[in-house]
Amino acid sequence: MIRVLALIIAVLPALALAVDLSKSQRAEIEARIKPYSQSCAVGDDSCSGVAAEPEVAIARSGEEVYNGACMACHSTGAAGAPMLGDADAWASRMTKGMEALYASGVNGVAGTGMIARGGCADCSDEEIYAAVDYMVSNGE
């Protein structure tokens, strides 16, 4: 009898602890001790029900890049920038070929106000090309 009592006394605090766990604590612990095969790593799209993180940010359109980075100069003609909608200005620049214009967009034009990437440090090459396309086609 004493042994049984001793056992109950020994087990009671553990029982009390188990009862004390809140729902969220339980969920947390269950998630932590879940078998590895049921765990999801970020970006692992084989996990059902868990949205995978996209690997690369979705590219901005030429119009978005233009509005964000190029408009300041190319809508005002600041420092002699060819303006959006000025078909003549762009037609004469296009005589050097689109590759040259893309290169100017990415590298800038030395000695002018046209800085590399129009100052958009986080723009990819493709986003700059899209912005150049947008300007060359006069915003269409």
Return the CA Rg of the chain. Answer: 31
Q: How many residues bind ligand HEC (CB under 6 A)?
A: 28
| Pattern 45-74, ligand HEC, x by CB under 6 A | --------------------x---xx-xxx
Amino acid of residue 52: A
Which CB, 40 or 67, lies closer to ligand HEC? 67
| Pattern 7-46, ligand HEC, x by CB under 6 A | ----------------------------------------
d(CA 105, CA 23) in angstroms, rounded, equals 56
Q: Is 85 helix (H, G, I), strand (E, B) or coil?
A: coil
User: Considering only residues 43, 85, 97, 113, which one is a binding residue for ligand HEC as defined by CB under 6 A?
Assistant: 113
Kindly list the distances between the CA atom of residue 122 and the CA atoms of 34, 50, 65, 100, in Å, as whole numbers in the listed order.
39, 29, 10, 21
Burial class (CB in 10 A: 0-12, 13-18, 19+), 86: middle
Residue 84 interacting with ligand HEC (CB under 6 A): no
Q: Which helix (H) or strand (E) holds 108?
A: none
Which residues contact ligand HEC by CB under 6 A? 65, 69-70, 72-74, 78-82, 93, 100-101, 104-105, 109, 112-115, 117-120, 128, 131-132
